[in-house]
């Protein structure tokens, strides 16, 4: 850490509170500098944190954290918070193995009262904590910080609807920077813009007058109504007022002299019910390269602080995301019914590429996965071919809609499931661990897993013609293996796997991109005199029953490999074999899945080592089974 004038002596917020208010902007400047330096070494979420530095300093100065509970929505913006709450000496371990999480995490610090990595949960959790305090007769303040992108999600409205009807005090700070991961979309964006269109910020004098009157009970009812009318007329906060929130703002979120009195008044207010403070900030504030970037450096790799240049990997291999997008574009050029849908992740899913080619046929619905799925279902009822491109971890949020609005009605929504499997630095909250299990259990579903980029193209080609039921194609984060891509006319038969190689003793049945590791394991086994067959299953549902049963009958051992949780592909294969009496004939069977734990952030290879799904672990598992004297024919993994 650099030799900062103030930050060197600040280990916890209690140290911050010893300083004069006149020093707080200097503290903010040092926190911002330290954050830029740290993220340049680790990569991570930069722009969001830069935008809330002054707010973070002001919050910890005014409120008695950790007794007062401060909840950051998503956690992208929590890096300055971590610096001020006992973690500054570890800040350069962000998103590294055994380092600090890139999100808030209860097990990491008492200053993180609620873990957050998925958006729009802060108001719900804060209201729950506030109600718990009320039941326990505690007077702690509860503060939720939510962004303008996150507040567009349905869960935030559900929480506001519930909290607004209560008489429970809580404080919600709406951080409006007109930028989430991508540009915010929808009516909320327009509404917030209107709040800023006339008078962008209150002056300090106006703020004192407004906030003092807002939280005082000494004025008459008539005067209160007049003040409410004036506040709504000036700021346009009618919607939040109508939902039961006492709305104040918008105010300059980078002016500590404005933030402090407003936060103090909110803290000391006897107002019964929720308070909303609307602040306006700039994402990437204080770092010119972030301020100028189109995404304000939302998520960055390691970079040079002086030039702002990010250090990219040297590979020329295409990412699975780009292979998906470019293939879909080729089909869309021929088929006007193909449309793309994403939930606030156009760049992450490749839908930005599709949208540039077909701007009227790409729909970014905002941070609203539930809506994205049912919206896609509606499109499908009218003969369109929607491709809902959603990360595996985010699709979990819309499981009810997948079941009721898509599967039960057998609507041909095509799910492009990005970030399947383990994802490295984002850790357990963003791992695509469960989609094989939660989709394969549904009737009327086709579930495909690409083993490489060539297979991905074939699966997209095949999905275009699936018009009577839903289907999903899962593929990982990162680059392919370097194969030549097939034409868009090359398809695969539904429910049919492919034989990679044939052997006599062991059949390795692989689903997904662990196939390359299976090939390496096979070579290791060959050197030990073990003959193996390798099958690329392609489909978790429907299974290639004929191929699987034939291989099971012709081998001593069958082992399934998948980048998913217990209860997925291997479980379905085991059930198939049991129902056909295969185990009665002496087959040894095992499943290798992701273990029944949440695997923390690390280098992906190390994460797969922990999972036990790398080549040497596959070959060892097979050798242990073949040569174990106590081997039982059917054992759960």
Which carries the bigger pLDDT value, residue 468 or residue 43?
A: 468
Average of per-residue pLDDT across 204-232: 45
263 has a pLDDT exceeding 70: yes
Average of per-residue pLDDT across 605-618: 95
Closest CA to 232 of 205, 262, 194, 265: 194
Give the mean pLDDT of the chain. 88
pLDDT in tens, 144-170: 999 888 888 889 999 999 999 998 999
Closest CA to 160 of 80, 276, 292: 276
Q: To the nearest whole percent, how much of the chain has pLDDT over 70?
A: 89
Among 69-73, 365-369, 446-450, which stretch is predicted with the lowest mean pLDDT? 365-369
Say what the pLDDT of residue 239 is: 80
Say what the pLDDT of residue 144 is: 96
pLDDT in tens, 370-401: 999 999 999 999 999 999 999 999 999 999 99
314 has a pLDDT exceeding 90: no
217 has a pLDDT exceeding 70: no
pLDDT band at 134 (very low <50, low <70, confident <90, very high): very high
Average of per-residue pLDDT across 346-357: 95
232 has a pLDDT exceeding 70: no
620 has a pLDDT exceeding 90: yes
| The two structure tokens encoding residue 630 | 């106590």
Helices (H), 108-255: 122-135, 154-164, 187-197, 204-214, 221-235, 238-242
Which secondary structure element, helix H or strand E, spans residue 278, and what is its range? strand 274-280
Say what the pLDDT of residue 312 is: 77
Say what the pLDDT of residue 286 is: 86
Among 452-456, 499-503, 582-586, which stretch is predicted with the lowest mean pLDDT? 582-586
577 has a pLDDT exceeding 70: yes
Say what the pLDDT of residue 271 is: 85
| pTM (two decimals) | 0.86
Determine the topology of domain 7-300 in CATH.
Rossmann fold (3.40.50)
Say what the pLDDT of residue 406 is: 98
Eight-state DSSP code of residue 319: B
231 has a pLDDT exceeding 50: no
> Hey, do 7-300 and 498-626 end up sharing a CATH topology, with the first three levels equal?
yes
Domain ranges within the chain, ordered by starting residue: 7-300, 320-474, 498-626
| Dist CA 570 CA 577 (whole Å) | 11
204 has a pLDDT exceeding 60: no
Q: What is the CA radius of gyration of the chain?
A: 27
Average of per-residue pLDDT across 70-95: 92
pLDDT band at 456 (very low <50, low <70, confident <90, very high): very high
Average of per-residue pLDDT across 306-327: 88
- The string over 606-632, giving b where at least 16 C-beta atoms fall within 10 Å of a residue's C-beta and e elsewhere, is ebbebbbbbbebbbebbeebbeeeeee
pLDDT in tens, 181-202: 555 555 555 555 555 444 434 4
Determine the topology of domain 498-626 in CATH.
Rossmann fold (3.40.50)
- The residues near 349 (Cβ < 8 Å, ≥ 6 apart) are 321, 324, 325, 342, 389, 390, 391, 416, 418
Q: What's the burial of 171, exposed, middle or buried (CB within 10 Å: 0-12/13-18/19+)?
A: buried
Neighbours of 259 (CB within 10 A): 25
Average of per-residue pLDDT across 312-334: 92
Determine the topology of domain 320-474 in CATH.
Rossmann fold (3.40.50)
Tell me how long the chain is. Answer: 637
Neighbours of 484 (CB within 10 A): 6
| Dist CA 94 CA 76 (whole Å) | 12
pLDDT band at 427 (very low <50, low <70, confident <90, very high): confident
Kindly list the catalytic residues: 283, 369, 397
DSSP string, 235-254: H-THHHHHTT-EEEEEEETT
């Amino acid at each position: 850490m650099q030799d900062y004038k103030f930050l060197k002596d600040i280990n916890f917020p209690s140290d911050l509170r010893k300083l004069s208010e006149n020093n707080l902007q200097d503290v903010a400047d040092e926190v911002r500098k330290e954050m830029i330096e740290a993220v340049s070494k680790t990569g991570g979420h930069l722009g969001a944190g830069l935008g809330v530095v002054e707010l973070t300093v002001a919050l910890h100065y005014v409120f008695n954290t950790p007794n007062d509970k401060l909840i950051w929505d998503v956690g992208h913006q929590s890096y300055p918070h971590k610096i001020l709450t006992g973690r500054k000496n570890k800040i350069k371990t962000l998103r590294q193995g055994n380092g600090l999480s890139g999100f808030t995490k209860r097990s990491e610090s008492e200053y993180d009262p609620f873990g957050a990595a998925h958006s729009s949960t802060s108001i719900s959790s804060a209201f729950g904590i506030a109600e718990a305090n009320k039941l326990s007769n505690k007077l702690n303040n509860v503060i939720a910080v939510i962004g303008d992108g996150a507040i567009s999600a349905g869960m935030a409205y559900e929480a506001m609807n519930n909290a607004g009807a209560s008489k429970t005090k809580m404080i919600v700070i709406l951080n409006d920077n007109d930028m989430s991961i991508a540009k915010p979309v929808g009516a909320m964006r327009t509404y917030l813009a209107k709040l800023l269109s006339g008078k962008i910020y209150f002056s300090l004098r106006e703020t004192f007058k407004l906030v003092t009157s807002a939280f005082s009970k000494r004025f008459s009812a008539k005067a209160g109504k007049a003040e409410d009318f004036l506040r709504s007329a000036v700021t346009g906060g009618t919607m939040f007022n109508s939902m039961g929130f006492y709305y104040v703002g918008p105010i300059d979120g980078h002016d500590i002299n404005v933030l402090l009195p407003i936060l103090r008044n909110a803290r000391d207010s006897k107002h019964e019910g929720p308070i909303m403070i609307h602040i306006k900030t700039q994402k990437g504030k204080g770092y010119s390269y972030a301020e100028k970037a189109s995404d304000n450096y939302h998520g960055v790799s390691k970079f040079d602080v002086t030039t702002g240049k990010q250090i990219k990997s040297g590979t020329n291999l295409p990412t699975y995301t780009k292979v998906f997008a470019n293939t879909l574009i080729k089909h869309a050029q021929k088929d006007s019914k193909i449309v793309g849908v994403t939930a606030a992740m156009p760049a992450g899913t490749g839908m930005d590429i599709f949208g540039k080619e077909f701007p009227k046929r790409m729909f970014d619905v905002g941070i609203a996965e539930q809506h994205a799925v049912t919206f896609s279902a509606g499109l499908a009822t009218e003969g369109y071919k929607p491709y809902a491109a959603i990360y595996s971890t985010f699709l979990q949020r819309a499981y009810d809609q997948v079941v009721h609005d898509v599967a039960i009605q057998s609507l041909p929504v095509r799910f492009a499931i990005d970030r399947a499997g383990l994802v490295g630095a984002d850790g357990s909250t963003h791992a695509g661990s469960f989609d094989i299990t939660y989709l394969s259990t549904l009737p009327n579903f086709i579930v495909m897993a690409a083993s490489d980029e060539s297979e991905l193209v074939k699966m997209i080609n095949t999905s275009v013609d699936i018009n009577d039921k839903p289907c999903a194609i899962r593929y990982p984060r990162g680059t392919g293996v370097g194969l030549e891509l097939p034409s868009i006319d090359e398809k695969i038969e539904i429910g049919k796997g492919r034989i990679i190689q044939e052997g006599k003793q062991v059949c390795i049945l692989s689903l997904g991109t662990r196939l390359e590791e299976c090939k390496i394991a096979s070579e290791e086994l060959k050197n030990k005199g073990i003959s193996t067959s390798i099958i690329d299953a392609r489909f978790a549902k429907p299974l290639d029953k004929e191929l699987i049963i034939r291989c099971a009958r012709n081998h001593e051992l069958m082992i399934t490999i998948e980048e998913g949780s217990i209860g997925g592909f291997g479980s379905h294969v085991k059930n198939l074999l049991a129902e056909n009496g295969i185990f009665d004939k002496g087959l040894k069977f095992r499943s290798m899945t992701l273990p029944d734990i949440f695997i923390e952030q690390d280098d992906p290879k190390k994460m797969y080592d922990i999972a036990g799904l790398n080549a040497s672990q596959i070959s060892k598992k097979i050798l242990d089974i073949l040569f174990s004297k106590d081997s039982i024919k059917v054992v759960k993994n």
